[in-house]
Chain A
Amino acid sequence: MSGAETLAWPRRIESIALVACTLLALANLPAPELPSAWVVAFSLPAAILGRLPRTSRTWIRVATAIALQTTACLLAMQTTGGPTRPAALACTILPPLAFVTSRQRDADPALALFLGFCVLLVGTILDGVNVPLTVAYGTAACLALRCSTHLAAATLTRRTGPAAARTSRTALPLSAIALVLPCTAAAVLVDRTIEILPSPRLGPQSSRVQDGGLARRSVGLDDSFILGAGGGVLSGLSGEQLVRVHATTDAAVPSDLYLRSGFFASPGLDRWELGAVDAKPAPNGGRCVLRPADPALPLSWLEVERFSGANNFVFVPPGTSFVRGIGNLVIDSPREWIRQTHGSALDLYEVAFQRQHDLRDDAAPVANARRLGLLSLPAGLDRPRFETLLAQWNVGDAASQATAAVAAGLASRCRYDRIDPVGPFGHAIENFLFADHDRRGYCMHFATAAALMLRMRGIPCRIGVGLYGGDPDRTNARARLYGSQHAHAWVEIATDDGYVVFDPTPPPERGARMPSRQDPSRFAGRAGGQDDGPGFFAALAAFVAQPWVLAVVAAFAFAAWSARQNQRVGAAPRPAAPARSARRLLGRLLAALDTVGHRRRRGETLESFLRSLAGQQRLLPEVQDAVIAYQEIRFGDRPFDDARERRLLRAVDAAAAMTPLAPASRSEPNPG
């Protein structure tokens, strides 16, 4: 079997693995945002171009490329319309990916792997992680890397012997598959490690909370929120796009639109829960009515495009009458709660809603507020303190007056910050309201404080959670994009007209992202209300005391030690004991020569040094003989016996007896 034949099979496997990587990366792109027609339009011409023979002239290739690309774009335009923004962006990376994948010459495989990885990441950013596809990509990439390494070694030898030929058909795929498991484990390990490390972006927080003595994550998509530890229905997300909202009329989507995904009605001092929900399946295919529309008010329509990160949440504005175009819903109409039983990516549904009335003092309280749990207060609430505050803020029983007073009071007493409140109290809400100095918190703390105070005044309310604000969609002036960074919490006051939004969070901060990771223990030492910013040294000490910092320092120390070991071993192998003895005598000889004016320069070899001595007619035969004896011991594996020792000692004596050079001659030793 010739060398070329031997390498043909690994090359074929590598080629298949690369194509698989590219196809998997392309498959990971979200089809609705990046229609397959455009993917093909940006990939196929480049792939064909990559397969053109080398002999083709440049102008033929250019003309072919232009013709193919133009045709492909026209066809894509006709089939799916104009390119979306992701499609326009994809045209920058898909053609080179397809080109190098199909050409596979020189460094093309490595470039194809890298570009494929980039496309995979783009797909993940747009549409979330598709685990099977990602794992499949990893497997194919492992196989490609393995083949590439094998080919690199085999190509370096330029010919492969029989042993190399044997490593062909089964060994390569098997070894690659065997590597997938450790690679996956390593990837998970790295992912978890980075996740555990407290990010500087979120401040000195961590993601664990002590609950019943066991540390566990409080974030997630469950209908609860732990105050002081972060978490909530949307807090497990980190920057994903969730929905795009279009206005069906000419008017743009208002920037102050609240999009509710859920609510909390059952309070606790540290935890809000959804409370009782009477969820019933909604009929599929038709309208899903949440509340009857008020004929006196105009009905506004919104078109909500839901991305995969939103999972099974159905985002609707407060005041929604009905939803249509989405199936598998469960609803609780009295509570205006709606949810999908299982989420599907890229749902599009329509929402009809009415702008709510402002909160009126004469609004009748909802009749069954107590049954709905809208007036309950957490057990163990320190009512006197709250009452004191309520009295201080002149909070009355009328809803509009109460909300205004509470909002003003909170604005004057507390400040917004995206970290948990700290203080001497055992509960976050108490630290938020009653700490001596630094009373701060985020929207959930404002909403909690307001909801509890309103309930204490007999005003039924709950906390609504969802999205607020959003960013304008650059592709559509009438649409807004909402991501998990727009997660927000507010208060909803129950009236006969429905749930009216009251947002106690200061307006500039509304819709600022709720932190997903909190660690109250980080600020335990600062309880008691210190100044706004921690002292530099205290912050430094707190930073250094973190276990991960110590771990990183230990890892660096180990790496430095390991590198030094490697360097020591690689640079100068430790001579054997006889050689060390000979080296000592050689050192004496060189020292003796130095005293008479012959200093060996740094890095100069012994041979060169002897030549320089000979050039000055100062090379003694004894010295030359001693160097030969040393070389025999050092490099020739000869023993350091008496004869050689005598030769070295004789040279030392001879060198010591030499006439010293005149100072003028010493300055520049002859390099020859």
Chain B
Amino acid sequence: MATSTRSIEFTLSGRVVAWLAGLATGAAWIGDNANARLAAAMLVAPLLVDFLLKPRRLHETRIRLAPRRTVAGAAFTERLVVEHAGRLPLRECLVAEPRTMRTEPPALLATLRAGTPGHVSYRARSLQRSHIVERVFVLMSMWPLGMFRARAIVAVAADLVTEPPRIPLSVEVVRAIAERQAAHVGSAPLPGADFHSLREHLPEEDARAVHALRSASLGTLVRRVTQGQLPHTAGLVLDLRRPPGRPLHQGARRFEWSLAACASLVAELRRRAARVIVLVIDAEPVSFTVQGPAQETDLLTLLSEATPAAHHPLRPDVFDALRRLEHCFWIPAGAYMASPEVAAMPGVVTVVGGDFE
């Protein structure tokens, strides 16, 4: 669904000229003075012409754009297809998306003929983690004389997923990840870790481990897996619950940081080819396994939509999938630090952000 609104308002110069024109017109009428009449005519004329020629059908502009997935704060280049359905062409039209262009200038559409699609690309940056399904654009034109500003707000149904930003993980967390990897099972006479197997190379991984010969023969990139980097399964609990009796709207900073930490942790684990069983404790707990890009995307979408949840007790069976693991990361995003479930976990639990301040 795309909705749109429109308005015409004075610019600063238009407001000044309008005041002067009003005064001159009043003086000309009351004083019956030819000079005042001339002044009034010369001041009113540009206002009148500008008002009459102002594009009034800005809101009849269709905007098409692809769904976008980005990271909070990261710059991206957005490409729009703009089509004007009015009768007259649009001239000197500025296009801006307030949500993603707070720090970026609007794009200028010099001339857009009616019925002819025009392409606009601009640099944007979504600063807030979010998932929106309707993007709002502001079209603005001061053509021709800049006395009035025609403005239209066009809403377009298009997904914009803004994932939490990636942050550097603390040393303890990185060490915990490393410790959970399998130790060397034997020692090779040659320096370096022992070869274990080959697996598909993921785009974000270090390319130095790519096996050149096998990659060439298979036609796809494969990498070596050594004994120390055996894939393992990690557990991750993201607790969105606020502590009992605490309001939901507080603790936003910790919450955002925790979601960013969660995204970074999953990315790090995935970089190490780990399989991650994620439990998100929201109003209704959600559990799923991240073992590929699709699940990772789903998790990040979930993180982009996450909000603090009111405190509620959990059923014991929620943690069934995690109880089998030796190690588990626990992120108390809602700042519920004294969760009894942490103590009840059988394996080692690393609390991420416990010392967050």
Which residues on A are within 8 Å of B, measured CB to CB? 110, 117, 121, 124-125, 129, 134, 138, 141-142, 145-146, 148-150, 152-154, 156-161, 163-164, 166-167, 175, 179, 182-184, 186-191, 194-195, 197, 199-202, 238-240, 517, 566, 569-570, 573, 576, 608, 611, 614-615, 617, 619, 621, 624, 635-637, 670, 672
Which of A110, A146, A183 has most chain B Cβ within 10 Å? A183
In whole angstroms, how far apart are the Cα atoms of A223 and B116 in the complex?
63
Interface string of B82-99 (1 = CB under 8 A from A): 000000000010100000
The distance from the CB of B243 to the nearest CB of chain A, in whole angstroms, is 13
Whether the Cβ atoms of A190 and B249 lie closer than 8 Å is no
In whole angstroms, how far apart are the Cα atoms of A198 and B282 in the complex?
75
Which residues of chain A are within 8 angstroms of B146 by Cβ–Cβ distance?
A: 145, 148-149, 152
The distance from the CB of B133 to the nearest CB of chain A, in whole angstroms, is 5
Which residues of chain B are within 8 angstroms of A117 by Cβ–Cβ distance?
A: 39, 42-43
Given contacts A153-B94, A153-B142, A157-B94, contact A186 B32 (CB under 8 A): no
Whether the Cβ atoms of A110 and B13 lie closer than 8 Å is yes
Interface string of B301-313 (1 = CB under 8 A from A): 0000000001000
Sort A-B residue pairs by CB-CB distance and give the 8 closest, nearest first: A149-B146, A199-B32, A637-B1, A187-B45, A186-B45, A672-B247, A187-B41, A163-B110
The distance from the CB of B94 to the nearest CB of chain A, in whole angstroms, is 6
In whole angstroms, how far apart are the Cα atoms of A161 and B105 in the complex?
12
A-B contact pairs, 20 of them (CB 8 A): A129-B34, A134-B42, A152-B142, A153-B92, A153-B94, A160-B108, A161-B108, A164-B108, A179-B53, A182-B49, A182-B52, A182-B53, A191-B40, A199-B30, A238-B34, A569-B5, A570-B5, A573-B4, A611-B247, A614-B248
For A190, give its contact among B4, B48, B134 (CB under 8 Å). B48
Whether the Cβ atoms of A615 and B247 lie closer than 8 Å is yes
Q: Does B233 contact A (CB under 8 A)?
A: no
Which residues of chain B are within 8 angstroms of A636 by Cβ–Cβ distance?
A: 133-134
Q: Does B28 contact A (CB under 8 A)?
A: yes
Whether the Cβ atoms of A191 and B13 lie closer than 8 Å is no
Whether the Cβ atoms of A200 and B30 lie closer than 8 Å is yes
The distance from the CB of B286 to the nearest CB of chain A, in whole angstroms, is 15
Interface string of B279-316 (1 = CB under 8 A from A): 00001000000000000000000000000001000000
In whole angstroms, how far apart are the Cα atoms of A141 and B146 in the complex?
13
For B25, give its contact among A154, A189, A194 (CB under 8 Å). A194
The distance from the CB of A150 to the nearest CB of chain B, in whole angstroms, is 6
Whether the Cβ atoms of A194 and B40 lie closer than 8 Å is yes
Whether the Cβ atoms of A166 and B110 lie closer than 8 Å is yes
Whether the Cβ atoms of B283 and A624 lie closer than 8 Å is yes
The distance from the CB of B20 to the nearest CB of chain A, in whole angstroms, is 8
In whole angstroms, how far apart are the Cα atoms of A201 and B5 in the complex?
45
For chain B, the bracket of interface size reads 35 or more
Whether the Cβ atoms of B134 and A635 lie closer than 8 Å is yes
Which residues of chain A are within 8 angstroms of B53 by Cβ–Cβ distance?
A: 179, 182
Which residues of chain B are within 8 angstroms of A195 by Cβ–Cβ distance?
A: 37
Given contacts A197-B29, A566-B8, A672-B248, contact A157 B107 (CB under 8 A): yes
In whole angstroms, how far apart are the Cα atoms of A186 and B51 in the complex?
12
For B107, give its contact among A161, A566, A569 (CB under 8 Å). A161
Which residues of chain A are within 8 angstroms of B29 by Cβ–Cβ distance?
A: 194, 197, 199-200
Which residues of chain B are within 8 angstroms of A576 by Cβ–Cβ distance?
A: 1, 3
Whether the Cβ atoms of B49 and A157 lie closer than 8 Å is no
Q: Does B33 contact A (CB under 8 A)?
A: yes
Given contacts A156-B94, A570-B6, contact A121 B38 (CB under 8 A): yes
Q: Which of B32-84 contact A (CB under 8 A)?
A: 32-35, 37-46, 48-49, 52-53
Which residues on B are within 8 Å of A, measured CB to CB? 1, 3-8, 13, 25, 28-35, 37-46, 48-49, 52-53, 92, 94, 105-111, 118, 121, 133-134, 141-146, 153, 157, 247-250, 283, 310
9 extra interface residue pairs, beta carbon distance < 8 Å, beyond A153-B108, A201-B31, A672-B248: A138-B45, A149-B146, A150-B92, A164-B110, A179-B144, A190-B44, A239-B33, A614-B247, A635-B133
Whether the Cβ atoms of B6 and A156 lie closer than 8 Å is no
Which residues of chain B are within 8 angstroms of A240 by Cβ–Cβ distance?
A: 34
For A146, give its contact among B48, B110, B141, B144 (CB under 8 Å). B144
Whether the Cβ atoms of A154 and B108 lie closer than 8 Å is yes
Summed over the interface, the residue pairs from A and B with CB atoms below 8 Å come to a total of 168
Which residues of chain B are within 8 angstroms of A191 by Cβ–Cβ distance?
A: 37-38, 40-41
For A186, give its contact among B34, B44, B107 (CB under 8 Å). B44
Which residues of chain B are within 8 angstroms of A159 by Cβ–Cβ distance?
A: 105
For B145, give its contact among A146, A154, A161, A238 (CB under 8 Å). A146
The distance from the CB of B63 to the nearest CB of chain A, in whole angstroms, is 15
Closest to A568 in B: B5
Closest to A570 in B: B7
The distance from the CB of B141 to the nearest CB of chain A, in whole angstroms, is 8
Which residues of chain A are within 8 angstroms of B108 by Cβ–Cβ distance?
A: 153-154, 156-157, 160-161, 163-164
Which residues of chain B are within 8 angstroms of A145 by Cβ–Cβ distance?
A: 46, 145-146
In whole angstroms, how far apart are the Cα atoms of A247 and B183 in the complex?
120
In whole angstroms, how far apart are the Cα atoms of A197 and B35 in the complex?
16
Closest to B93 in A: A153
The distance from the CB of A28 to the nearest CB of chain B, in whole angstroms, is 11
In whole angstroms, how far apart are the Cα atoms of A125 and B28 in the complex?
13
Which residues of chain A are within 8 angstroms of B39 by Cβ–Cβ distance?
A: 117, 121
Closest to A150 in B: B92
The distance from the CB of A148 to the nearest CB of chain B, in whole angstroms, is 6
Which residues of chain B are within 8 angstroms of A517 by Cβ–Cβ distance?
A: 32
In whole angstroms, how far apart are the Cα atoms of A617 and B310 in the complex?
8
Which residues of chain B are within 8 angstroms of A621 by Cβ–Cβ distance?
A: 283
Which residues of chain B are within 8 angstroms of A167 by Cβ–Cβ distance?
A: 92, 110-111
The distance from the CB of A422 to the nearest CB of chain B, in whole angstroms, is 21
Which residues of chain A are within 8 angstroms of B8 by Cβ–Cβ distance?
A: 566
For B41, give its contact among A154, A161, A190, A202 (CB under 8 Å). A190
Given contacts A149-B143, A156-B105, A624-B283, contact A566 B110 (CB under 8 A): no
In whole angstroms, how far apart are the Cα atoms of A670 and B245 in the complex?
13
Whether the Cβ atoms of A142 and B46 lie closer than 8 Å is yes
Closest to A575 in B: B3
The distance from the CB of A258 to the nearest CB of chain B, in whole angstroms, is 26
Given contacts A201-B32, A570-B7, contact A188 B38 (CB under 8 A): no
For B35, give its contact among A121, A141, A186, A566 (CB under 8 Å). A121
Whether the Cβ atoms of B5 and A573 lie closer than 8 Å is yes
The distance from the CB of A259 to the nearest CB of chain B, in whole angstroms, is 22
Closest to B52 in A: A182
In whole angstroms, how far apart are the Cα atoms of A579 and B283 in the complex?
26
Which residues of chain A are within 8 angstroms of B105 by Cβ–Cβ distance?
A: 156-159
Closest to A149 in B: B146
Which of B5, B42, B310 has most chain A Cβ within 10 Å? B42
Which of A175, A238, A670 has most chain B Cβ within 10 Å? A238
Whether the Cβ atoms of B38 and A129 lie closer than 8 Å is yes
In whole angstroms, how far apart are the Cα atoms of A39 and B301 in the complex?
71
Which residues of chain B are within 8 angstroms of A129 by Cβ–Cβ distance?
A: 34, 38
The distance from the CB of B334 to the nearest CB of chain A, in whole angstroms, is 12
Which residues of chain A are within 8 angstroms of B28 by Cβ–Cβ distance?
A: 194
In whole angstroms, how far apart are the Cα atoms of A672 and B143 in the complex?
46
